[in-house]
């Protein structure tokens, strides 16, 4: 399920590229994420666009929550990928919630399942500052 988002607008993941040339093809299934970093970015964009179906679909079945509720009041204002090596991505995601800015630092693990990348779990749980 891809939500309507103008394809020419800059991608919510902050890559500087248009949505159609960044996370859009991962969301609509036309080009599955080719690496953990690309999937990490696509999942961040999916949170930003309230595309819970994509977030759940790219979550390993062993660790996936039964349901995911994305808060309307949360704004996803930025993503910085610090490193992406092997099956790990270290990043900082910036959110605004109730007038407060949260910076979430996390090291996430990904793996390949049936030929495509999926998110497994955090290796270092998120810390907020
Ligand atoms: Zn993107």
Whether 5 maps to a domain, the answer reads: no
Q: Average per-residue pLDDT in the chain?
A: 93
Q: How far is the CA of 5 from the centre of ligand 1 (A)?
A: 12
Q: What is the CA radius of gyration of the chain?
A: 14
Q: Which domain holds residue 98?
A: 19-128
Each residue's pLDDT tens digit, 62-114: 999 999 988 888 999 999 999 999 999 999 999 999 899 999 999 999 999 99
Whether 7 maps to a domain, the answer reads: no
Dihedral sign of CA atoms 127, 79, 100, 6 in order? negative
| pLDDT reported for residue 1 | 47
Q: What is the CATH classification number for the domain harbouring 86?
A: 3.10.450.50
Q: Give the rounded percent of residues in the chain with a pLDDT score beyond 70.
A: 97
Whether 70 maps to a domain, the answer reads: yes
Number of domains in the chain: 1
Q: How far is the CA of 127 from the centre of ligand 1 (A)?
A: 23
Whether 6 maps to a domain, the answer reads: no
**Stretch 43-69: mean pLDDT, rounded?**
96
Whether 3 maps to a domain, the answer reads: no
| pLDDT reported for residue 126 | 83
Q: How far is the CA of 19 from the centre of ligand 1 (A)?
A: 6
Distance CA 53, CA 81 (A): 23
Q: How far is the CA of 21 from the centre of ligand 1 (A)?
A: 8
Whether 33 maps to a domain, the answer reads: yes
Distance CA 106, CA 108 (A): 6
| pLDDT reported for residue 124 | 86
pLDDT above 50: residue 53? yes
What 3-state DSSP class applies to 46?
helix
Whether 2 maps to a domain, the answer reads: no
State pTM to two decimals.
0.93
Q: How far is the CA of 18 from the centre of ligand 1 (A)?
A: 8
What 3-state DSSP class applies to 19?
helix
Whether 10 maps to a domain, the answer reads: no
């Amino acid at each position: 399920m891809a939500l309507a988002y103008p394809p020419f607008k800059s991608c919510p993941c902050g890559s500087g590229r248009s949505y159609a040339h960044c996370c859009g093809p991962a969301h609509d299934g036309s080009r599955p994420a080719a690496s953990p970093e690309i999937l990490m970015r696509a999942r961040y964009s999916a949170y930003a666009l309230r595309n819970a179906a994509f977030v759940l679909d790219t979550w390993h079945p062993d660790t996936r929550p039964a349901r995911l509720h994305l808060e309307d009041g949360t704004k996803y204002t930025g993503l910085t990928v610090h490193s992406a090596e092997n099956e790990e991505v270290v990043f900082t995601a910036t959110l605004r919630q109730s007038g407060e800015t949260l910076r979430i630092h996390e090291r996430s693990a990904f793996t390949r399942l049936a030929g495509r990348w999926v998110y497994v779990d955090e290796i270092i749980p998120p810390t907020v500052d």
